[in-house]
């Protein structure tokens, strides 16, 4: 047996593992492409009872605004980091693994928040059904499972967790800053005109707290899995 074969992370660089990461990246890309298609072909929907009245017309305006949705941001992070791991599985960059951690945690939060708090009773078909199934159901489960099984592990630390926290903090800051100017918010739980900053603050604190707790859990699992496989 060669030295390379006994390296703790060598199996995470094998072709089958890289193909798994590539498949996840392609799935995320397909989901994101469907979001862009919906932006190009549909106006924004105004939630029932919303305190804001703004929105975006179908076309470039709504397509570019897909970046305002947490679902889209989490899909970009998960897909991009999976693509990097498919090409360079041994990457050691602290910034990369902070983004990877952010991607895993964000898709978990996306799935939980959307399905528990935001899912409506509308019957979806076509591209909308595909988009919802991929980004709200499959990706939030598949990405953390792939991380759990295939890693890479042993590359997280407190610095990575703190850096990863910048992702939701920046997204929330930008969302709340542009909301009054556009008279539009991406989700009902961020409807400042209706609930006020105090009401929205409850959701924000809960989301950030959940992010930190999930991040700590993943960090702990990462250390455990790394020790066992070393």
Q: Which of 140, 130, 110, 142 lies closest to 35, judged by CA?
A: 130
Residue pair 66/56 in contact (Cβ under 8 Å)? The answer is: no
Cα–Cα dist 215/162, whole Å? 9
The distance from CA 32 to its chain's CA centroid, rounded to whole angstroms, is: 11
- Report the candidate in 151, 147, 143 with the shortest Cα–Cα distance to residue 10: 151
pLDDT for 3: 37
Local structure of 130: helix, strand or coil: helix
Per-residue pLDDT tens over the stretch 220-229: 998 888 787 7
- The full DSSP string for 122-135 is PPP-HHHHHHHIII
For residue 150, say if its preceding peptide bond is cis, omega within 30 degrees of 0: no
For the stretch 31-64, pLDDT in tens is 999 999 999 999 998 888 888 998 999 999 999 9
Q: Domain tally for the chain? A: 1
Cα separation, 199 vs 194, whole angstroms: 9
198 DSSP assignment: H
pLDDT tens-digit series, residues 161-194: 999 999 999 999 999 999 999 999 999 899 999 9
| DSSP letter (8 states) at residue 69 | S
Q: Dmax over Cα atoms in the chain, in whole Å?
A: 66
Using the structure block, give the residue that is written with the tokens 């890479």. 152
- Structural domain boundaries enclosing 113: 3-229
The conformation of residue 153, written as its DSSP 8-state character, comes to: -
Please determine, for residue 115, whether its predicted confidence score (pLDDT) is greater than 80: yes
Structure tokens at 60: 């470039």
Overall average pLDDT of the 128-157 stretch: 93
Cβ-based neighbour number of residue 162 at 10 Å? 12
Name the token pair of 10: 């060598």
């Amino acid at each position: 047996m060669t030295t390379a074969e006994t390296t703790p992370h060598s199996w995470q660089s094998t072709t089958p593992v890289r193909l798994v990461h590539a498949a996840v990246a392609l799935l995320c890309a397909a989901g994101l492409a469907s979001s862009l298609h919906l932006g190009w072909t549909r106006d924004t929907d105004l939630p029932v009872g919303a305190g804001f009245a703004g929105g975006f017309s179908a076309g470039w305006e709504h397509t570019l605004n897909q970046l305002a949705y947490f679902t889209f941001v989490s899909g970009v992070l998960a897909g991009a980091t999976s693509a990097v791991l498919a090409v360079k599985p041994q990457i050691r960059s602290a910034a990369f693994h902070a983004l990877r951690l952010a991607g895993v945690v964000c898709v978990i939060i996306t799935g939980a928040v959307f399905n528990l708090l935001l899912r409506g009773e509308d019957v979806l078909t076509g591209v909308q059904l595909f988009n919802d199934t991929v980004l709200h159901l499959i990706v939030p489960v598949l990405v953390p499972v792939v991380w759990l099984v295939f890693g890479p592990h042993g590359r997280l630390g407190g610095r990575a967790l703190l850096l990863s926290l910048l992702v939701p903090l920046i997204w929330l800051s930008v969302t709340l800053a542009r909301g009054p100017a556009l008279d539009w918010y991406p989700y009902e739980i961020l409807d400042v005109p209706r609930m006020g900053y105090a009401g929205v603050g409850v959701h924000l604190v809960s989301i950030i707290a959940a992010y930190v707790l999930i991040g700590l859990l993943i960090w702990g699992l990462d250390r455990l899995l790394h020790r066992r496989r070393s």
